[in-house]
Structure 1
Amino acid sequence: MVFRRRDRRSTWRVIADLVYPRGGWARAFLYVQHRVRRLPDTPERIARGIWAGVFTTFTPFYGIHFVIAALLALAMRGNIFAALMATFFGNPLTYVPIGIISLQTGHLLLGDELDAGTQRSFGGKFVDAGRDLKDNFFALFNDQTADWHRLAVFYDEIFFPYMIGGILPGILAGTIAYYLSVPVIRAYKKRRKGAIKAKFEAIKEKAGATGDIHRKAD
C-alpha cells in the first residue's frame, strides 16, 4: 500500500513510542501544537475543541478519552479534531499528577481523606479491578463464584472520587487552555493569511511582468 510504513515497527517499539516518543515529548508537543494551529476552522471553535480534550484527561475513563472528547466537542460545537489532539495533554508524564489532584479533590468534596497508601497502590487497584472483570467473565462458563470485592474497592476508593474530583480541575485546566489558545491561534492564522496573500501578490506581479515582456517582444 502507498501509505504503509517502510520501516515496520515491532510491537515493543509501538508501545515504547507511546510511553516516550523517539523525538521526545517536547517534539511531540510541538507537532501537535503545529497541527492544531493549522486546522481550517475559527479560533473559537478550535479552542472549544481544545477545552473538551483537556477536560477529558481529568476523567477516569481511560481507553475512551477520544470518544468522550469528541462527544464533548460535538456538544460544545467545537472542533472535534482539536479535541482529539488536545487529549495529548494527558500522557505518561502528566497522568500521575492529574490522578493525584483529581483523587485529592474528590475525597475532599466527598468529606473523607485520601489514604497515604492510595497513591502508591493507584495502579494496583486498576489491576485488581481488571482482574475481577476477567475472573468474573470466565465464571460465567465454569463453576467459579463471581467476586466483585476488588472492583467495589476500586470504585469506592479510586473511580468515584476520581470522577467527582476531576471536574473542577478539569474545568480550570480546560478554561486556561481555551483563553490561551484563542489569541495564539488567531495571531497565527492572521500571520499565515498575510504570508499567503503576499506570496499570491508576488506570483501575480511576476506573471504580469512576464506578460509585459511577451507583449514587448511581439
Structure 2
Amino acid sequence: MVFKRRDRRSPLQILTELVYPRGGWGRAFLYVQHRVRRLPDSPERIARGVGAGVFTTFTPFYGLHFVIAFLVARLIRGNILAALSGTFFGNPLTYVPIGIISLKTGYFLLGTRFDEGRHRSFFGKFADASRDLKDNIIALFTDAHPNWEGLRVFYHEIFFPYMIGGLVPGIIAGVVAYYLSVPLIRAYQYRRRAKIKAKFSAIKKKAQAEADLGPKAD
C-alpha cells in the first residue's frame, strides 16, 4: 500500500510513543500548533475549537475526548479540526495535575472530601471498578452473579466529583486558550497572506519584465 509505514512498529514502540512521542512532547506540541495555525478558517472559529478541545481534557470521559471535543465545538460553532487538535492539551504529562485539580474542585463543590481510608485507595477504586466491569461482562455469558459495588463506589467517589469539578477549571482553561489563540492565529494568518502576496507580486513583476523585453532576436 502507498501509505503503509515502511518501519513497522512493535506493540512496545506504539505504547511508548503514546506516553512519549518520537521527538518529545515539545516537538509534538509545535507540530500541532503549526497545523492549527494553518487551518483555513477565521481566527475566532479556530480559537473556539482550540478552547473546546482544551475544555474536553478536563472531563473524565477518557477514550471519548475526540467525540466530546467534536460535540462541544459544534455547540459553540468552533472549528472541528482545531477542537480535535486542542485535546492534545491532555497528555500523560498533564493528566495527573488535571485530575487532581478536577477532583479537588469537585469535592469542594459537592461539599465532600476524598477519604483514603474509606473503602479503598484512589488507585484501588480504579482497580475495583475495572474488575467489576470485566466480571460483569463475563457474567452476561455465564451463570456468575454481577457485582456493582466497585463501580458504584468509583462513580460516587471518583467519576461524579471529577465530572462536576472538571467543569470550572475546564471552562477557565478553555477561555484562556481562546483569548491566547486569537491574536496568535490572526498574526500568523496575516504574515502568511503577506508572504503569499509578496510571492505572487514577485512572479508578476518577473513576468512583466520578460514581456517588456520582447522576443529575442535569432
Q: 1:44 offset after TM fit, Å?
A: 0.4
Name the residue aligned to 2:83: 83
- Give, in angstroms, the shift of residue 216 of structure 1: 6.2
> What displacement does 1:172 show?
0.3
| Superposed CA offset, 1:20-65 (max 9, x none) | 0120000000000000000000000001101110000000000000
Structure 2 counterparts to residues 60-71 of structure 1, below 5 A = 60-71=60-71
Residues 116 and 122, structure 2, Cα contact 8 Å, conserved in 1: no
How far apart are the structure 1 equivalents of 2:124 and 2:8? Answer: 33
SS at match of 2:100: helix
Alpha carbons of 1:16 and 1:165: their partners in 2 closer, same or farther (altered >3 Å)? same
Q: Does 1:131 align with 2:121?
A: no
Partner of residue 163, structure 1: 163
1:4-153 matched pairs, under 5 angstroms: 4-116=4-116, 121-153=121-153
Is 1:209 matched up with 2:199? Answer: no
Counterpart-to-counterpart distance in 2, 1:8 and 1:204: 47
> In structure 2, the residue corresponding to 1:3 is in which secondary structure?
coil
Task: After superposing the two structures, state which structure 1 stretch, 76-85 or 140-149, moved more.
Answer: 140-149
How far off its partner does 1:159 sit? 0.1
Please give the alpha-carbon distance, in whole angstroms, between the structure 1 residues aligned to 2:39 and 2:33.
10
Secondary structure, in 3 states, of the residue corresponding to 1:32? helix
The Cα of 1:169 is off from its aligned counterpart by: 0.2
Q: Which runs of 5+ in 2 are unaligned?
A: none
* Structure 1, unpaired ranges of 5+: none
Q: Give me the whole-angstrom Cα distance separating, in 2, the residues matched to 1:21 and 1:117.
A: 37
Report the 3-state secondary structure (helix = DSSP H, G, I; strand = E; otherwise coil) of the residue aligned with 2:140: helix
1:63-119 alpha-carbon deviations (Å, 9 max, x no partner): 00000000110111110000000000000000000000000000000001123579x
What percent identity do the matched residue pairs reach? 71
- How far, CA to CA, are the matches of 2:217 and 2:184 in structure 1? 50
1:133/1:93 Cα in 2 relative to 1: closer, same or farther (>3 Å)? same
Per-residue CA deviations over 1:150-196 (Å, capped at 9, x if unaligned) read: 00110011000000000000000000000000000000000100000
Check if 1:181 corresponds to 2:162: no
Alignment length (residue pairs): 217
Distance 1:165 1:116 in 2: 19
C-alpha RMSD of the superposition? 1.7
